[in-house]
Amino acid sequence: MKTKRSLIRNTSLRKFFAAKSDRNEKKHKIEQESNTFITRFPHTEHAEHTTHPPLVLAGLAVAIKDIFCTRGTLTSCASAALDDFKPTYDAHVVSQLRKHGAKLVGKTNMDEFSMGSASTFSHYGKVRNPHGFCPQQQAMVEHRSAGGSSGGSAAAVAAGLCDIAIGSDTGGSIRLPGAYCGVPALKPSYGLISRFGMVQYSTSLDTVGILARSTDLIQKTFDCLSSYDQRDPTSIPITYRRKSAELNRLWQSRFACESEDLSNVRVGVPIEYFTSDLSEEVLSAFRATVDFLKQRGAQFVSVSLPSTGACLGAYYVLASAEASSNLARYSGLHFGSRSAVDRPSNTLDSAPPPSNLYAATRTEFFGEEVKRRLLLGAYTLSASGMKNYFLQAQKVRLAVRAEYDRVFRAPNVLMKTETAPPGSEEGVDVLLTPATLGSAPALEEDEAQRALAAAADSWSQDQLLVPASLAGIPALAIPVRLASPAPPGPPRSSWPLAIQLIAQWGYEDTLFRLGSVLERMGSLEPVPSQKL
């Protein structure tokens, strides 16, 4: 006969498992509705590590953008050209995550070969922002962009499907999805995290990016992934890493963000980032952030980065040119998909010329956005395009780097001459800018309209994110929550907004410290424009 205690225990267990089943069902539904994953890893990937002390990432669920090679598992880059490609090795970041105890849960959806800003150019369908999901209706009630190209990674974190997600950032591809989906997102300094095993888009711009539930988790992941790797020719040597670490300790001693005392922190606001395209809600969030930091003693100064307006054109020239070269390998001759139209028969006499197979394969399996960028890249690498566009874009990149070095008071350890000597009070520790023009835009259902909208949105939006990529310096997107006005005022939009922090090369610790402070600010009261 069951005792009263056992009956209570059984009832509690039933309630517990029923609640867990409901949560799992909700997660499965939101995963389907947002179209977050391309591949889910089997349960064996979830094995717990029992080392003592526990590994840094033990027990944390991590999703990986489908641009990173995973041994024996599909790595498609969201393209029909690679829809059957299974690598024989793991990318550097994948092996490091496993080494530090992470539970790899799957490969996330994205823009094809990372070319896009809305995660709509995917062979597996577009990604939808999970903030449009209604739990009561168990469906998406508002279809908005998750950003791109790492939209699936950001959506996975925002939907609670993982704790951390790995993506890539070429011109904002990690920060824009993070901002639209309301999760912190880091673009590290160029060359600090190895890209070995990452399918390349733009060699001189690609970086491994990190999204997570908090800045602290991003910092833990960054520390696990940041190390020299001789397999990656762009990996920064140990000498520069040590020098950067020494200077970081010197500069970090100037302020103690753990106590939220920012009296020694100097924040720069670039005037070129404030264009007429910025929405009022973004400006309100930015002003509230400035007010929050000022209350804690931070000093604010206006700075100028004159080459900002030329960044976007230079970026598209350089990225497209490098993509044209990097994607030349997808010919149908060695690996990946191969056109059935020009596939050779059993007889050698009827085999088509390789050039015909090459053209037919790329025409059939590349998406329209990829084709557009490859055509632009091929032209800029031509004799006339090289002189008129490619070389001019390189000059813009050098000017952008010099301007950032000039405004920061920390020196750039990669430069032969230090632009700001230790102790200089003329520069700033960090730059604060808007991360987006507004909240996530609506997704267009019509294919032609979607392509036009994506092109227009990315061209305007990228002007906030591309400059840091051209300069190769770290940037962190942090969500900002604004409190709704008291009744009878209209309720404020619940869609996420974000600001962007930019630091000198190798100064990720500055971003982490300030990012942690901003995460604790909660919902901010809007600040009138005249106050600032």
List active site positions: 65, 149, 173
Q: Please classify residue 251 by burial: count the beta carbons closer than 10 Å to its beta carbon, then call 0-12 exposed, 13-18 middle and 19+ buried.
A: buried
How many whole angstroms separate alpha carbon 61 and alpha carbon 45? 10
List the one residue out of 102, 104, 107 whose CA is nearest residue 87: 107
For 291, phi and psi rounded to 5 degrees? Answer: -60, -40
How many whole angstroms separate alpha carbon 265 and alpha carbon 301? 11
Treating both helix axes as pointing N-terminal to C-terminal, what angle do 447-461 and 368-380 enclose, rounded to 10 degrees? 50
How many whole angstroms separate alpha carbon 145 and alpha carbon 450? 11
CA 395 to each of CA 57, 223, 402: distance values in angstroms, whole numbers, following the listed order: 41, 33, 11
DSSP 191: T
- Dihedral angle of Cα 485, 491, 497, 501, to the nearest 10 degrees: 0
List the one residue out of 352, 373, 359 whose CA is nearest residue 331: 359
Q: Is 521 helix (H, G, I), strand (E, B) or coil?
A: coil
Q: Any idea which residue has 């080459």 for tokens?
A: 307
Q: Which residues contact 406 (CB under 8 A, 6 or more apart)?
A: 419, 420, 427
Question: Contact at 8 Å (CB) between 112 and 79?
Answer: yes
Q: Which residues pair with 187 in a beta bridge?
A: 475
Residue 195's CB is within 10 A of a number of other CB atoms, namely 25
Question: Contact at 8 Å (CB) between 344 and 350?
Answer: yes
Ordered DSSP codes for 347-371:
SGGGPPPHHHHHHHHHHHHS-HHHH
Enclosing H/E stretch for 465: none
Question: Contact at 8 Å (CB) between 480 and 144?
Answer: no
List the one residue out of 501, 304, 319 whose CA is nearest residue 402: 304
